[in-house]
Amino acid sequence: MKTKHVQHLYWRIGFGILPTELEKLSKKNKKAVVNGLINASKTITPLKLDTSELDDLLSGSYEKTRENIKKVQTISRQKTKELNVAWVDRLAGTKELLREKMTLFWANHFVCEDNNYVYSQQFHNTLRTHALGNFKDFVMAISKEAAMTKYLNTKQNRKQKPNENFARELMELFTLGVGHYTEDDIKESARAFTGYSHNLQGGFVFRKRQHDESIKTFFGRSGNFNGDDIVNIILENKQCAKFICRKMYRYFVNDIIDENHVNEMADVFYADYNIENIMRYMMLSDWFYDEKNIGTKIKSPIEFLVGIKKIVPVNFKNPKQLLYIQKLLGQILLNPPNVAGWKGGRNWIDSNTIVMRLKLPSLILNNAYISKAKKGTSDIVAETKKQMFKKKFEKRFKTESNWSYFNDQFKNVDISNLENYMLACTMGETASVYLESLSKVSKQEHCVQLMSLPEYQMC
C-alpha cells in the first residue's frame, strides 16, 4: 500500500499515524491493512468510570426528594467531565481504532445527553457496542436506552397522550432524513412507541398499560405495531441505507457527495445493514483513495486535538482546561448542541475557532512560541520568549508535553521530511516559501511550525 494511502486511511479511520507503524503498514497490501484495522476492533472495551456512589444512591431505597435529585445531578456533572477527559485519552491511545472512530461518528448521529451520569455512560457504551454491528439492532437498542427515552420524551409518550418527539427524530435524523415520511407516519409510529420507559438503574421498562394496543397505519401498512416493528418497517425502505451511507461518506470520505459512490455503498449496506461490512467496503474501494479525497477534509476539533496528542503526548494539569479548549474550538464531547448534532465541515470554522486552532499547538506544546528565526541563524530569542509567554498564558493552559516521546518516535525521520508525516495535504506556495526562508532550529520547533499552519487543519 502506498505510504500516502496508509496515512489517508489512518487519518479518516483514526487520528493519524506515527512513522514506525507507517513504515510497517506500507509494506502490506490494502486488504491486509484493512483487515488489520477490522480485526483489531473485534473486541469491545467499554469506557466506564467508578459509579458506585451513584449506584448506591439509585438502588432500591432511592427516594425522589429534591435533595437526592440534586445530589445525582451534582455527581453526574462531575463524572461527565471525567468521562470527557477519559474519552479523549481513549481516542489517543486505543488499539480498537476503527471501533472508537465509529463510536465518535455514532455519537454525532444518535445524539443524546442526560443529566444522570449512569444513564449517559450506559448510552455511551451502547454506541461503542453496536458501532460495528448490525444497524437494525443498533436502532432498536438506542430506542430503549434510558437516556434516549428521557432526551426525546418517549418516557412521556403514553396511550392517552402520545408524544411525537422520538418518532419524528427517529425518521428525520436517525434513519430516513427529512421529506421521506408524512406527519401521519409520525403520529402513527409515536403510538407504537408508547409505554417505553426505564427503571432507576437505567434498564429498559415496557409499561404495558401505557402502550397503545390498537391498530396503527404506518407507511401504508396496518397492524398492532410496537416500536421494533416500526424500526423493521423503516429499514425495509432503501432510503434508510442511503441516508446512513451519505452521512458516512460525508464523514469519512468527502464533504462533497459523489452520488455514484453513495449508491454503491447503499446497495451493499441495504443487503444486511452490517456496519462492519460497509466500512470494509468503503476502505477497500479505489475511490476512497482518489486524489480529490485526500487531505481535503477539515478536521473536527476532536480529530485536531487527538491528532496533536498522538504526535506529542500532552496532559492538562487541570483537566477542566481540556474541556475549556473543546469549548473554544466548538466541540465539547458529551455536550452536543442539540439532537441534530454538530454540522461539521466548514461549520467548524469561524473567526474565533480558526484563530484558536492556529495558535493552539504552540500554546499547549511550546509556551505559545512559534520560531521565526531566519535560515542560517539559531533561534536566540526562543528561550526568553518562551519564559515570557509562559507567564502570560499559564493560567489558561497549564500543560505537560512529552517532547522526548516525539523525538524518539521521529528519530529516523529527517527534519526536512517532517512535513510529509505531519501534513495530509500539500503546503500552499506562500507558506512553503516562507518556511523555506526559516531556520529549522530543531525537530520540536519545526513540528510546532507545521502544526501552526492551516494545512495542519486538513485531513
Partner 1 sequence: MDRRKFLKKSSLASSLFFVPSFVKAFEEVTSSYLGYKRLVIIQLSGGNDGLNTVIPFRNDLYYKERPTLAIPKKSIIKLNEDIGLHPSLTPLKRLYDEGYLSIINNVGYPNPVRSHFRSMDIWQTATDSDKYMQSGWLGRYLDHYGKHPHSAIEIDESLSLAMKGEVINAIATQNPKSFYNLSKDPYFKNIHNHQNDAHLSEHNLGYLYKSMIAAESSAKYIYETSKTISTSKEYPNNSFGKQLKTTAQFINSGINTKVFYGSLNGFDTHVNQLNAQKRLLKNYADCMGTFVQDLKDNGTFKDTLILTFSEFGRRVKQNASIGTDHGTANNVFIIGEHLKKQGLYNNMASLSDLDDNGDLKFEIDFRTIYATVLNKWLEVDDEKILNKSFKQLDFI
Residues that bind partner 1 (CB under 8 A): 66, 164-165, 168, 172-173, 255, 296-298, 327-328, 330, 337-340, 343, 345-347, 349-352, 354-356, 358-359, 362, 370, 372, 425, 428-431, 434-435, 449, 452-455, 457-458
Q: Are 163 and 154 spatial neighbours (Cβ–Cβ below 8 Å)?
A: yes
Q: Are 237 and 219 spatial neighbours (Cβ–Cβ below 8 Å)?
A: yes
Cell numbers for 34: 484493512
Backbone phi, then psi, for 329, in 5-degree steps? -85, -10
Least CB distance from residue 172 to partner 1, whole Å?
Answer: 8
Least CB distance from residue 434 to partner 1, whole Å?
Answer: 5
Q: Are 48 and 121 spatial neighbours (Cβ–Cβ below 8 Å)?
A: yes
Q: Which amino acid is at 157?
A: N
Cell numbers for 415: 527534519
Which DSSP string corresponds to 118-137? HHHHHHHHHHHHHTTSBHHH
Least CB distance from residue 225 to partner 1, whole Å?
Answer: 22
Least CB distance from residue 256 to partner 1, whole Å?
Answer: 10
Cell numbers for 207: 409499561
CA-based max dimension of the chain: 83
Least CB distance from residue 340 to partner 1, whole Å?
Answer: 5
β partners of residue 374: 438
275-284 and 259-272 helices, crossing angle to 10°:
150
Instruction: Tell me whether residue 32 or residue 355 sits nearer to partner 1 (CB atom).
Output: 355
Q: Are 124 and 107 spatial neighbours (Cβ–Cβ below 8 Å)?
A: yes
Least CB distance from residue 60 to partner 1, whole Å?
Answer: 24
CA–CA distances in Å: residue 190 to residues 127, 180, 408:
23, 16, 58
Least CB distance from residue 154 to partner 1, whole Å?
Answer: 14
Instruction: Tell me whether residue 66 or residue 208 sits nearer to partner 1 (CB atom).
Output: 66
Instruction: Tell me whether residue 282 or residue 332 sits nearer to partner 1 (CB atom).
Output: 332
Least CB distance from residue 393 to partner 1, whole Å?
Answer: 10
What is the SS3 assignment for 447? helix
Least CB distance from residue 132 to partner 1, whole Å?
Answer: 28
Buried b or exposed e, range 150-174, using 16+ CB within 10 angstroms = bbbbbbbbbeeebbbbbbbbbbbbb
Least CB distance from residue 168 to partner 1, whole Å?
Answer: 7
Least CB distance from residue 114 to partner 1, whole Å?
Answer: 11
Instruction: Tell me whether residue 362 or residue 444 sits nearer to partner 1 (CB atom).
Output: 362
CA distance 11 to 15: 5
With the CA atoms of 367, 91, 177 and 191 taken in that order, what torsion angle do they form, in degrees rounded to the nearest 10? -120
Instruction: Tell me whether residue 287 or residue 434 sits nearer to partner 1 (CB atom).
Output: 434
Place of cell 401521519: 184
Sign of CA dihedral 452, 455, 458, 459: negative
Residues 6+ apart with CB under 8 A from 218: 185, 188, 189, 192, 225, 230, 233
Instruction: Tell me whether residue 131 or residue 360 sits nearer to partner 1 (CB atom).
Output: 360
CA–CA distances in Å: residue 226 to residues 158, 166, 212, 217, 339:
13, 14, 9, 12, 23
Residues 6+ apart with CB under 8 A from 346: 255, 298
CA distance 92 to 105: 15
